C-alpha cells in the first residue's frame, strides 16, 4: 500500500485515483467518537450554534433520511461504541439502517484537534490546502443500498474505519452517466468500479470529482470521514453578507419613462450610498478579515474549536502545540483582529498585545507580570489571555 502523506501519495494519488492507503496516523478512537456522538444527545443546540451544518439523520431501508428519535442517539447507558451500535441494531431488527452524524468538529474538542492535525499534515504533504472547508462526519449502519445512489460530493474524502464492513464503489469523473443510479440499477456497473474496502488500519481515499456509492451488507460498519471541499465559497459568502446589509425594496411600480437625461432611481441611489458607507466605515473589511482568519487558524475547518472552561491561568504562558495564531492590524479603527483555533476577537491597538503575540509565535514564554504596571491595560490583557486559554491556544 502507498502510505498516506507520502511523496508518492502527493505525486501519484492526490486528486487522481481512488485507493486504500496505509497509515500509522490513527486520530480517532472508540471513546473519542462515542463522546462526540453523545454530545448530539445532550448538547445539540450548542453544537448547532458552533456549526450550523451539524445534524444527525437516520435512513431505514434506503428511505429518505430524517431526524431520528432520541432512542437512536447515544444514551447514558451506552458505555461503549459496541453497546450503542448493538442496541440500535436490536431496535431495527432485520431492516437496513444507516445513521449519519454531520459536523463532529463542533461536538468535541478532541475531534476538532484531530481534524486540524490531519488537515495540517495533508497540506504539508501536497504543498497546498484545498479551497473549501474541512468537514468530519460519522456513518454507522448495515445497509445494501442508500437513498442518494451514485453521486459526487465535490470533496476529497478520507475514510477511517472503526468497524469493518463497508465497501465504497467509486468511478472516475468521466462517468457522469452513472449519477443518480440507485440499487439495483447500478449493479451491472460495479465491475467497472474501483471498490475500496473500508478496513481498520488503513484509509480509503477518493478525489473530489469521483462518483461513489457505499454498501455495508453483512456487518455494522463505523466510519469517520474527513471531507476536504475542493472549492471555496468565500466570495459567495461575502456577497450574501453584503446583500443582507443593503436594503432592497420590493417596488410595485415605476414612473413612466421618457427620453432625455436621467439619474439613478431613488432605490439604486439608496443602495449605492449604503454600499459606499459600508465600505468607508471599515465594517466590511473587518468582516472579511475575520472570516479569513477563522478559516486560516482552524486549518479550514471553518468553525471554532469548542471552548473549554478555564479557572486559573499562570503568570507564564506559551503557545499550545498545533495552534495557529494570526492577527490583522486595522489602522483605520486603531484595532487588532486576533484569531486562534478558529476563534476571533477585536482588541484596541496596543504595543503590549503585539509584543505578547510576537513572543508566542516565536515559541517564547510570556511573563504576564511584565505588563502589570498599568492597571487598565493589564486588565485588558488578562481578558485577552483568558480568551486564548478558553480556545486552548495557550498553556
User: How far is the C-alpha of 337 from the C-alpha of 344, rounded, in Å?
Assistant: 7
Helix (H, G, I), strand (E, B) or coil at 109: helix
Q: How many CA atoms, within 13 angstroms, populate the side-chain half-sphere of residue 318?
A: 6
Out of 106-110, 195-199, 211-215, 279-283, least confident range? 279-283
Q: Which ranges of 228-350 does DSSP label H, i.e. alpha helix?
A: 234-245, 266-280, 283-297
Average pLDDT over the chain reads 95
**pLDDT tens digits for range 253-265:** 778 888 999 888 8
- In 10 A of CB 377, how many CB atoms? 16
Which residue in 316, 135, 100 sits closest to 221, CA to CA?
100
Q: Is the pLDDT of residue 252 over 80?
A: no
The residue count of the chain comes to 395
Per-residue pLDDT, 267: 83
Residue 16 CA to its chain's centroid (Å): 23
User: How far is the C-alpha of 123 from the C-alpha of 119, rounded, in Å?
Assistant: 6
C-alpha grid cell, residue 26: 490513527
Question: 338 pLDDT band (50/70/90 cuts)?
Answer: very high
Helix (H, G, I), strand (E, B) or coil at 319: strand
**Mean pLDDT for the stretch of residues 214-233:** 96
C-alpha grid cell, residue 48: 448547532
Question: 244 pLDDT band (50/70/90 cuts)?
Answer: confident
Tracing cell 453521486 back to the chain, one arrives at 151
Q: Is the pLDDT of residue 279 over 90?
A: no
Q: What angle do CA 109, 115, 117 make, to 5 degrees?
A: 100
Per-residue pLDDT, 4: 98
User: How far is the C-alpha of 134 from the C-alpha of 114, rounded, in Å?
Assistant: 12
Q: What angle do CA 208, 213, 218 make, to 5 degrees?
A: 135
Question: 251 pLDDT band (50/70/90 cuts)?
Answer: confident
Q: What angle do CA 50, 40, 48 make, to 5 degrees?
A: 25
- In 10 A of CB 370, how many CB atoms? 13
User: How far is the C-alpha of 53 from the C-alpha of 50, rounded, in Å?
Assistant: 9
Query: Pairing between strand 211-229 and 316-317?
Result: unpaired
Q: Is the pLDDT of residue 250 over 90?
A: no
Per-residue pLDDT, 311: 84
C-alpha grid cell, residue 185: 440499477
Q: What are phi and psi of 287, to 5 degrees?
A: -60, -50
If one compares 124 and 245, the residue with the highest pLDDT of the two is 124
User: How far is the C-alpha of 96 from the C-alpha of 89, rounded, in Å?
Assistant: 9
Q: Is the pLDDT of residue 364 over 90?
A: yes
Q: State the DSSP string of 61-101.
A: TTPPPBPPPGGGSPPTT--SHHHHHHHHHHHHTTS-EEEEE
Partnered with residue 337 across adjacent β-strands are 328, 346
**pLDDT tens digits for range 150-190:** 999 999 999 999 999 999 999 999 999 999 999 999 999 99
Q: Is the pLDDT of residue 245 over 80?
A: yes
Per-residue pLDDT, 35: 98
Query: Pairing between strand 155-163 and 211-229?
Result: antiparallel
Residue 238 CA to its chain's centroid (Å): 18
Largest Cα separation within the chain, whole Å, is: 79
* E-strand stretches of the chain: 2-3, 19-22, 55-60, 97-102, 134-143, 155-163, 167-171, 194-197, 202-206, 211-229, 316-317, 325-330, 335-340, 343-348, 366-367
**pLDDT tens digits for range 32-91:** 999 999 999 999 999 999 999 999 999 999 999 999 999 999 999 999 999 999 999 999
Question: 347 pLDDT band (50/70/90 cuts)?
Answer: very high
**Mean pLDDT for the stretch of residues 283-291:** 94
Q: What are phi and psi of 324, to 5 degrees?
A: -105, 120
Per-residue pLDDT, 394: 97
Q: Is the pLDDT of residue 309 over 80?
A: yes
Helix (H, G, I), strand (E, B) or coil at 117: helix
Q: Is the pLDDT of residue 206 over 80?
A: yes
If residue 314 lies in a helix (H) or strand (E), which one and from where to where? none
**Mean pLDDT for the stretch of residues 325-351:** 97
If residue 356 lies in a helix (H) or strand (E), which one and from where to where? helix 351-361
Amino acid at each position: 500500500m502507498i502510505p498516506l502523506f507520502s511523496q508518492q501519495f502527493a505525486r501519484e494519488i492526490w486528486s487522481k485515483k481512488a485507493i486504500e492507503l496505509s497509515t500509522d496516523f490513527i486520530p480517532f478512537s472508540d471513546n473519542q467518537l462515542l463522546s462526540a456522538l453523545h454530545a448530539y444527545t445532550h448538547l445539540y443546540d450548542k453544537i448547532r450554534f458552533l456549526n450550523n451544518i451539524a445534524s444527525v439523520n437516520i435512513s431505514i431501508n434506503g428511505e429518505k433520511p430524517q431526524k431520528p428519535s432520541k432512542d437512536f442517539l447515544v444514551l447514558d447507558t451506552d458505555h461503549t461504541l459496541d453497546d450503542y451500535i448493538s442496541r440500535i441494531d436490536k431496535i431495527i431488527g432485520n431492516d437496513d439502517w444507516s445513521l449519519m452524524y454531520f459536523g463532529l468538529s463542533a461536538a468535541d474538542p478532541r475531534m476538532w484537534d484531530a481534524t486540524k492535525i490531519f488537515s495540517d499534515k495533508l497540506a504539508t504533504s501536497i504543498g497546498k490546502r484545498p479551497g473549501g472547508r474541512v468537514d468530519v462526519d460519522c456513518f454507522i449502519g448495515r445497509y445494501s443500498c442508500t437513498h442518494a445512489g451514485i453521486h459526487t460530493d465535490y470533496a476529497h474524502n478520507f475514510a477511517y474505519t472503526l468497524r469493518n464492513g463497508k465497501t465504497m464503489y467509486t468511478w472516475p469523473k468521466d462517468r457522469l452517466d452513472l449519477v443518480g443510479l440507485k440499487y439495483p440499477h447500478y449493479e451491472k456497473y460495479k465491475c467497472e468500479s474501483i471498490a475500496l474496502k473500508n478496513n481498520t488500519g488503513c484509509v480509503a481515499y477518493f478525489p473530489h470529482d469521483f462518483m461513489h456509492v457505499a454498501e455495508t451488507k453483512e456487518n455494522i460498519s463505523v466510519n469517520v470521514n474527513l471531507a476536504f471541499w475542493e472549492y471555496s465559497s468565500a466570495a459567495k459568502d461575502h456577497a450574501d453578507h453584503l446583500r443582507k446589509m443593503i436594503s432592497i425594496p420590493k417596488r410595485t411600480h415605476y414612473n413612466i419613462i421618457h427620453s432625455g437625461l436621467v439619474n439613478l432611481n431613488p432605490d439604486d441611489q439608496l443602495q449605492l450610498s449604503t454600499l459606499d458607507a459600508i465600505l468607508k466605515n471599515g465594517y466590511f473589511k473587518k468582516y472579511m478579515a475575520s472570516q479569513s482568519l477563522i478559516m486560516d487558524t482552524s486549518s479550514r475547518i471553518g468553525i471554532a474549536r469548542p471552548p473549554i472552561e478555564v479557572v486559573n491561568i499562570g503568570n507564564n504562558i506559551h503557545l499550545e502545540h498545533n495552534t495557529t495564531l494570526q492577527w490583522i492590524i486595522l489602522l483605520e479603527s486603531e484595532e487588532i483582529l486576533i484569531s486562534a483555533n478558529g476563534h476571533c476577537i477585536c482588541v484596541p491597538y496596543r504595543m503590549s498585545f503585539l509584543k505578547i503575540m510576537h513572543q508566542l509565535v516565536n515559541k517564547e514564554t510570556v511573563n504576564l507580570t511584565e505588563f502589570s504596571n498599568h492597571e487598565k491595560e493589564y486588565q485588558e490583557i488578562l481578558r485577552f489571555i483568558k480568551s486564548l486559554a478558553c480556545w486552548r491556544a495557550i498553556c
